[in-house]
Amino acid sequence: MADVASPTSEPVVSAERLAIRAAEARDVHAIMAIDRHAYPTPWSRRMTIDQVTGSNRTHLVLEKNHEVVGHAGVLFMAGEAHVSTIALAPEVHRRGHGFDLLLALVRASLAAGCHALTLEVRATNKTALALYRRFSLAPAGIRRGYYGDNGEDALVLWSPEFSGDYLDRISAMRYVHELDVPHQLENPWD
């Protein structure tokens, strides 16, 4: 069990042991299982393997008690970071782990020398939009009919500011969130 400091400095006991680490080929099965719950049309096995093992990208997994319960990926091109996926297993939704994964992608993107961050999101995905708003991602356009399963539009979101100051501000927001959701998180970029 991990002890985590509470806002009153009294220890809070949490049975969860969480870690974010680089995804490996051995994680593809678990990633695909999560995606079957998260997306109407999940990626193929080949696309998932390419995302995990390809060059110019980072793919991370979130482990809870050594079991993969989430993942996120980012592609680096021409000094820009394009978030390609963030997904969580249903049993860990609404606990701040999407924030943790996106923050880890931001750290990886800055470490890779990127100066901008972008992604697409379903216009109806209110939960994801709320997360991205916390990261100061702003609408930059619409991709009409982007999602093949139902022809839904995608909002293109963009980071108008992307630097070490941005990371400091977003990291501070995570601390505020941790006051409500105590857990221990290991991150390879800290």
pLDDT at residue 88, as a whole number: 95
Q: Which two tokens stand for residue 19?
A: 């870690």
Q: Which band of pLDDT confidence, cut at 50, 70 and 90, is reported for residue 149?
A: confident
pLDDT tier at 11, thresholds 50, 70, 90? very low
Query: Could you tell me where the DSSP H helices lie in 7-96?
Result: 28-38, 45-53
Strands in 65-175 per DSSP E: 67-77, 80-88, 116-122, 138-143, 154-158
**What is the Cα–Cα distance from 79 to 135, expressed in whole angstroms?**
19
User: Would you state the pLDDT for residue 174?
Assistant: 61
Residue 8 lies in a domain: yes
Distance, in Å, from the CA atom of 54 to the CA atom of 82, rounded to the nearest integer, reads 14
Indicate whether 33 belongs to any domain: yes
β-bridge pairing 67-77 and 138-143 = unpaired
Residue 97 covered by a domain: yes
Domain ranges, residue 36: 2-184
Specify if 157 maps to a domain.
yes
Tens-digit pLDDT profile for residues 94-138: 888 999 999 999 999 999 999 999 999 999 999 899 889 888 899
The pLDDT of residue 134: 87
In a domain, 190, yes or no: no
Best CA proximity match to 167, nearest among 95, 106, 84: 106
**Total structural domains within the chain:** 1
- CATH number of the domain encompassing residue 170: 3.40.630.30
- Is 124 part of a structural domain of the chain? yes
- The answer as to whether 71 is a domain residue is yes
DSSP-based helix, strand, coil % in the chain, nearest 5: 35, 35, 35
The verdict on residue 189 lying in a domain is no
